[in-house]
A and B are shown apart, each in its own frame.
Chain A
Amino acid sequence: MCKREKLEDKYFLLNFDHTFLAASLQEEALLFGADSHAPFLSNTVRQFQAFKPDFTLNHPLDHLSGGENAILAVIFYSALVLHKKKPLHFLLQNILESLSTSNRHALIILLTEYQQQAISYHLLSNNEVISINE
């Protein structure tokens, strides 16, 4: 556990209140130079369908609930990081706190899989940073 200020420059802060820029996942991927046929995008959709079965690539993001939006953001950005092959430390703020118990467990299982692939996740809680493995 350590203070947030010491880590800010090394982390990608994913906050519940600030997730996507674009209106759909497909458009969000375009912003990062990925086309709609990129395998990481179809993986993202497939993984998120475990939480929301009727989700598609063009689903309007503002039709998702707050918690669904938070889950999708974590999955999408994790998959994007692997696609870009650039390791990254994630700082999750109010993401897991926004999920039901079953969804929180399901997402942590997914994050554990991503964590083995050069991504690390940490939780920001009351301005302290906690590793998800602690």
Chain B
Amino acid sequence: MKNNLKEIREKNNLTQEALANLVFVSRQTIISIEKEYYVPTTPLALKLAQILKIKVEELFILEKTDWK
């Protein structure tokens, strides 16, 4: 699963630390999502989308491999 978290976060002038504090997770979690090492749970994905004021589908994009 791809994501645009880094681009959208930077567009909102938020640091990883600031975003982490807003969604009550560690900075490592934000880094691992941005690097696509980790796919967040639905509640965290919704929280991120709400904080960044976008739709979840704009933040996380399904790839062909996700259907297999």
Co-assembled chains A and B: no
Interface residues of chain A, those whose CB is within 8 Å of chain B, are: none
